[in-house]
Structure 1
Amino acid sequence: MGVGAGQAGRALAQTPATPIAAPAGEPIRLGLIEGFSGPFANAGDAVWRNILFAVERVNSRGGVRVGGASRPLELVRLDSKGQAEEALVMLRRAADLGMPFVLQGNSSTVAGALAEALERHNDREPGNRMLFLNYSAVDPVLTDERCSFWHFRFDAHAGMRMRALADALAANPRVKRVYLLNQDYSFGRQVAKLAREMIGARRPDIAFVGDELHPLGRIKDFVPYAAKIRAAGADAVLTGNWGNDLTLLVRAAREVGLDADFYTFYGNGLGAPAAIGEAGVDRVRAVAEWHPNAGIAPAQRIYEAFRAALRDPRDDYFNMRHVVMIEMLAAAIEAAGSTEAAAVARALEGRTHRGEPYEATMRADDHQILTPLTVSVMRRAGPTAGKGAPTFDLEASGFGFATERRFEAADTAMPHRCAMRRY
């Protein structure tokens, strides 16, 4: 069932900015296919808030100019329940409603199914083609051997993120024994494989004392896993877990008194900072394209506007790449002068976004975004936390993240094996 942007429920307070000129043309509909129910509903809702905010930024300045008319973007909510089969049903619904763009990101398995189905749909119905914008499904194969002309990824893939995280881990002399714990699906298996390769190349002295996969979204009690990690004598845990699988893991680690550093892809939100608490200070690290204390002035202004619009401070989980994605899509539509999928795809290929919040380039060869990456470490936040403390906390937890290492976009690029069919 699709839900329009005006029916989002507890999302954002009304945007205070007054539109320069209210867009009056036919809305350009973006179908957001996510798990809004099921074990990862909190992650789906967080994505909705982020992308709705980015859409409202574009609409508040007049929308998207197409064929002489200013058209608003309209975000439509399509619940996949976090399942690939349901996601394909929602893709069919988006096609039936004539939506030119679909968005998804939570789960690389779902993203792979959508990309394959979209290839078939676009071949079968050339008059009703769609583009797939991926904001967080980071299995490298999606822009490598399984790349598609109709798929664009706006997040650094797992190899890019792991290279940054491995550099940070290798520089930590305290780390001698690493435990790998990941979700048992394509992304989690890639994280484990990449961790062994990249950490091993940088620090051959490090021992891997565990390498375990667990069912995705089905573990309610991670205490046995945390106890096993502690018994293995690990001084660091590396995990690509996200959503409740991460929150419950770090909560269990605290319960068993696990004294280890955490190197994570997503430890900077969705309940993780509050779950970890004081035990995470100087111990928990995350890798992302941006974080609230990164010191990038244009991005900070955007983040402050998002934070001011929240009805509940516990919903303060923001990914700046969603803003970049919507800005680049709007610019590509205007450059193409059309919402037709192939025309917009060609306008997106090779495009560099040079405005707020930061510069990013969509590599034409494989449709992989090239952005900066930052490894940040958890600290107590606020003016009473001492010199050098992060200004912003996350989700009203009292804890924020501070930059430990930064990598420019040119340094995050990796080779690919994409040989896509072009249109």
Structure 2
Amino acid sequence: MNKCRRFLLIVFLLPVILLTLTSVLWAAEPVKLGEINPLSGYLAKHGWEIHQGILYAVEEVNARGGLAGHRVELLSRDDRSSPEVAVNQAQELLYREKVVGLLGGYVDSLVGPISQLAARHRVPYVASASLQSALTRQWRNPYFFRVSKLEGIVEPLCQFISQTLKPQRVAILYMATPGSTEFATEVAGRLRRAGAALPLMEKFRPGARDFSVFLLKVKEAKADVLISGGFFPDNLILVRQMRERPVGLKAFIAPWGVAYPSFIEEMGPASEGLLGLCAWNPGVTMPGTEKESQAFVQGFRHRFGVEPNTTTMHGYTSARALLAALEKVLQKKEPLTGATICRELAGLDLLLPMERLKFDAYGDPMYYQQVVVQIQQRKMVVVYPPARATGRVQYPWDF
């Protein structure tokens, strides 16, 4: 009888004990992080993708008990694809909310001003999608880190074009943003040194709705390959117009906006043969991270009801880096200051689905390297580098 009473007492008290322990756990002061992304405006699609990746990483940490007993509170802000708004949102997070770290960012016209503000406040900023070399090499900022870099795109792209496609004449279209402009300049220089002629390089402003005149110039220039430095909406328009009026191209390649399941779905058969680059996608992951990558895909689908993509993974990776650094500081029972967090960020060495993440002395990722993919039968097939290839490139193609 006494045993029965004790059992019933335990059953009755167990939920109370668990509730009390949970309350004690979350009684610790939360760790406040700020996130600034273009959630509306021209860049909203990619801003939401980064946001979902960051949010998923934060929810993962909180689901396992937080960081050393501290719940992570993510404060998300919309920069509306505007540098001025991005600065205002960053000031609000730094002055009023007193966040200990910043995340997010898409294109360097938005990332750059935030990085400078973060430096003045001595708050670490781990950018999710940043490329402009001046942000780390020209303006030394010990509080700025990022999970991507331009070299990780330019090098595999130029090697693939010069070694595999071997075109005689290349045309380049690029956007009037710091990252896209630097990308076009770097690619043009490398291809010229490899012996290719570049009869056409043209810049366009964000939000352009018609590329028909440019495509006429491509045809007149008799280009073999067209490289587009535009984003998802730009490449949708460009490819549609190119399909309507072929210009004699043998290959079309775009580092941004093409290697997305949503691009393939929207373009349908018109996406066949297009070339793009990505750092990660479902089925395209760092060797040795296949199980972790698959678990991420399944969990993400369940949480958001959509397929994750390479931009999502950039957001997730940046959050994983900052969260890992914060946890190391808390485990050492040190205060969360810019100095302690940056020290741990500088010492990270993580194997993640997108990359082995280790920062160099400038805050750039040491091992970030994208792969070249081609859309074949509505699937992304890795065609370069050879060590990671899952198929052979189909070339030439008639565009």
Taking structure 2 as the reference length, the TM-score comes to 0.81
Contact 1:108 1:139 (8 Å CA) reproduced: yes
Contact 2:170 2:200 (8 Å CA) reproduced: yes
Contact 1:30 1:102 (8 Å CA) reproduced: yes
Contact 2:106 2:129 (8 Å CA) reproduced: yes
Letter in 1 for 2:161: L
The match for 1:171 is 163
State how far apart, in whole Å, the 2-side matches of 1:154 and 1:243 are: 20
Mark the CA change 1:192 to 1:354 in structure 2 (over 3 Å): closer, same or farther: closer
The match for 1:11 is none
Letter in 2 for 1:342: A
Contact 2:104 2:318 (8 Å CA) reproduced: no
State how far apart, in whole Å, the 2-side matches of 1:356 and 1:290 are: 7
Contact 2:147 2:357 (8 Å CA) reproduced: no
Letter in 2 for 1:213: K
Mark the CA change 1:372 to 1:144 in structure 2 (over 3 Å): closer, same or farther: closer
Q: What is the deviation of 1:317? A: 5.7
Cα deviation digits, residues 80-132 of structure 1 (max 9, x gap): 11111111100111011111112232121222212222333x2xxxxxx4221
> Does the alignment pair 1:91 with 2:83?
no
Alignment of 1:173-192 (within 5 A): 173=165, 175-192=167-184
Cα deviation digits, residues 47-106 of structure 1 (max 9, x gap): 1122112222222222211xxxx1222222211111111111001110111111122321
Mark the CA change 1:109 to 1:63 in structure 2 (over 3 Å): closer, same or farther: same
Q: RMSD of aligned C-alpha atoms?
A: 2.6
The match for 1:328 is 321
State how far apart, in whole Å, the 1-side matches of 2:259 and 2:352 are: 25
Q: Which ranges in structure 2 are unaligned for 5 or more consecutive residues?
A: 1-21, 389-399
Mark the CA change 1:358 to 1:186 in structure 2 (over 3 Å): closer, same or farther: closer
Q: What is the deviation of 1:373? A: 1.9
The match for 1:225 is 214
State how far apart, in whole Å, the 2-side matches of 1:260 and 1:27 are: 55
Letter in 2 for 1:186: P
Q: What is the deviation of 1:293? A: 2.3
State how far apart, in whole Å, the 2-side matches of 1:400 and 1:289 are: 12
Q: Which ranges in structure 1 are unaligned for 5 or more consecutive residues?
A: 1-20, 123-128, 382-397, 409-423
> Does the alignment pair 1:116 with 2:116?
yes
The match for 2:346 is 349
Q: What is the deviation of 1:318? A: 4.9
Cα deviation digits, residues 219-278 of structure 1 (max 9, x gap): 122333333323322221122222422332233322323444222222212843345443
Letter in 2 for 1:141: A
Mark the CA change 1:406 to 1:292 in structure 2 (over 3 Å): closer, same or farther: farther
Mark the CA change 1:247 to 1:75 in structure 2 (over 3 Å): closer, same or farther: farther
Select 1:55's aligned residue among 33, 39, 58.
Answer: 58
State how far apart, in whole Å, the 2-side matches of 1:272 and 1:232 are: 28
Mark the CA change 1:291 to 1:312 in structure 2 (over 3 Å): closer, same or farther: closer
Select 2:362's aligned residue among 366, 372, 376.
Answer: 366
Q: What is the deviation of 1:173? A: 3.6
The match for 2:233 is 244
State how far apart, in whole Å, the 2-side matches of 1:77 and 1:158 are: 26
State how far apart, in whole Å, the 2-side matches of 1:304 and 1:158 are: 30
Mark the CA change 1:310 to 1:139 in structure 2 (over 3 Å): closer, same or farther: same
Contact 1:58 1:327 (8 Å CA) reproduced: no
> Structure 1 vs Structure 2: percent identity of aligned residues?
20
Contact 1:159 1:194 (8 Å CA) reproduced: no
Q: What is the deviation of 1:198? A: 1.5
Alignment of 1:248-267 (within 5 A): 248-258=237-247, 259-266=249-256, 267=258
State how far apart, in whole Å, the 1-side matches of 2:178 and 2:78 are: 22
Mark the CA change 1:51 to 1:227 in structure 2 (over 3 Å): closer, same or farther: farther
State how far apart, in whole Å, the 2-side matches of 1:34 and 1:172 are: 37
State how far apart, in whole Å, the 2-side matches of 1:220 and 1:174 are: 31
Letter in 2 for 1:367: G
State how far apart, in whole Å, the 2-side matches of 1:247 and 1:270 are: 13
Mark the CA change 1:199 to 1:341 in structure 2 (over 3 Å): closer, same or farther: same
Contact 2:226 2:252 (8 Å CA) reproduced: yes
Contact 1:375 1:406 (8 Å CA) reproduced: no
The match for 1:404 is 384
Tell me, what secondary structure is at the counterpart of 2:305?
coil
Tell me, what secondary structure is at the counterpart of 2:202?
strand
Mark the CA change 1:356 to 1:58 in structure 2 (over 3 Å): closer, same or farther: farther
Q: Using the TM superposition, name which of 251-260 and 188-197 deviates more.
A: 251-260
The match for 1:273 is 264
Q: What is the deviation of 1:207? A: 1.4
The number of residue pairs the alignment matches comes to 355
Cα deviation digits, residues 159-178 of structure 1 (max 9, x gap): 33101110111122452221
State how far apart, in whole Å, the 1-side matches of 2:48 and 2:354 are: 23
Mark the CA change 1:29 to 1:407 in structure 2 (over 3 Å): closer, same or farther: farther
Q: What is the deviation of 1:146? A: 1.4
Contact 1:294 1:403 (8 Å CA) reproduced: no
Taking structure 1 as the reference length, the TM-score comes to 0.76
Cα deviation digits, residues 320-347 of structure 1 (max 9, x gap): 3333322222221122224322210011
Tell me, what secondary structure is at the counterpart of 1:148?
coil
The match for 2:146 is 153
Mark the CA change 1:212 to 1:407 in structure 2 (over 3 Å): closer, same or farther: farther
Letter in 2 for 1:347: E
Q: What is the deviation of 1:197? A: 1.6
Tell me, what secondary structure is at the counterpart of 1:170?
helix
Q: Which of the two has higher C-alpha Rg? A: 2
